[in-house]
Amino acid sequence: MTTTSADEPVSVMPIMNMVYGLWVSQTLVTAHERQVFERFAERPGMTPADLAGVLGFEERPVEQLVTCCAALGLLERDGAGYRNTPMTDRYLLRGSDDYVGGWVEVVSRHDYPGWLRLDEALRTNRPTAWDSERRDSLFDDTNPVVVETFWEGMSAISRPTARELARAVDLSAARSLLDVGGGGGAYAIELCRAYPELSATIFDLPFVCDLTEKKVKQAGLGDRVSFAPGSFFTDPLPAGQDVVLLSMILHDWDIDQCRAILRSCYDALAPGGRLLISELLVADTKDGPLDATLMSLSMLVETFGRNYTGAEYRSWLLDTGFTDIEVRPFAAPAANGVVVARKPLNS
């Protein structure tokens, strides 16, 4: 037996937990899709038999699902029955302010099929979540159902991330922010809420701007958040910005494309303006953290990009002409830090 020392055997449990990963995710996905948590919100204390009656299923499979949800911390005992945990009530009930179920749906419907063909992506160096022979990118899909699900899911994990970003970077002196690829509107909305003097422009594909406009209106920010439809590969970005934001954008593209996007952002900034790159940053040593490396592997099945390191961003930014580059770490669903860079005043 392999050991870490003469007295301490190496545990097999980390490997077993990796094997169980699919089981865990499918438990959450199935319970969410069957609206199990909404049912318990309506009737706390239901037994598995009660829930089976509501769903129209037999008791045995429902009991197995419920007990597994309880073991995962999604449900808790309530007398003879069960109820939602505070975490579930906050994040998995449709309509709640912090609802992240949209991301659960995106991962289930779009990511998982590609992940199940991970070996193919590894062999071919091509995405497996969509047909790269027929489309230019993941974002070309104009199927209304697919598109709305994707952007709703992105908004779900972007809202809490944007709040953390607002605390990590002081934008109190900024008056204009350009959110490049800001479809869904979460960052523009949350940053404008955090900084009342700030106005934002969302630059994204025309159909994405159309989808996002209603979210901005619902947030009551139609007078402070505007739209500039276009493609950052073919159209110039609106110029004269105090701040330009790239959030979960660069990981979708290869290195040359990332450099091109950074040049466009540089041109869009006013002298002295700042660029913010909010991402799940891979460690410079390329041995973690797990969320960033998993997202990077997800980019193998979803895009032609990957998640990059802070050192890589620093090098590209310096080449582009940026100065005062720093990485500010934080913890959030869609980012573990932000790279901040400044356009020189004399540029």
C-alpha to C-alpha distance for 169 and 164, rounded to whole angstroms? 9
pTM over 0.85: yes
- For residues 31 and 51, the answer to whether their CB atoms sit within 8 Å is no
The domain 101-342 having CATH identifier 3.40.50.150: the answer here is yes
- Could you list the active site residues? 251
Interior/surface letters 284-295, b for 16+ CB within 10 angstroms, e for the rest:
eeeeeeebbbeb
Do 215 and 281 meet the contact criterion of CB atoms below 8 Å apart? no
Write the burial class of residue 263 (CB in 10 Å: 0-12 exposed, 13-18 middle, 19+ buried): middle
Q: In this predicted structure, what is the pLDDT of residue 170?
A: 98
pLDDT of residue 153: 85
Instruction: Assign residue 184 a region (left: φ > 0; alpha: ψ between -120 and 50; beta: otherwise).
Output: left
Give span(s): CATH 3.40.50.150, the chain. Answer: 101-342
Contact call for residues 308 and 251 (beta carbons, < 8 A): yes
Local mean pLDDT, 10-residue blocks, the chain (347 residues): 66 94 97 98 98 98 98 97 98 92 90 94 93 75 64 88 97 98 95 98 94 94 97 96 98 97 98 98 98 96 96 98 98 97 95
What is the secondary structure of 18-51 as a DSSP string?
HHTHHHHHHHHHHHHHTTHHHHHHHSTTB-HHHH
Domain 13-91 matching CATH 1.10.10.10: the answer reads yes
**Token pair for residue 194?**
């955090």
What pLDDT is recorded for position 285? 98
Residues of the chain with CATH 1.10.10.10: 13-91
Residue 311 confidence (pLDDT): 98
Can you give the pLDDT at residue 129? 87
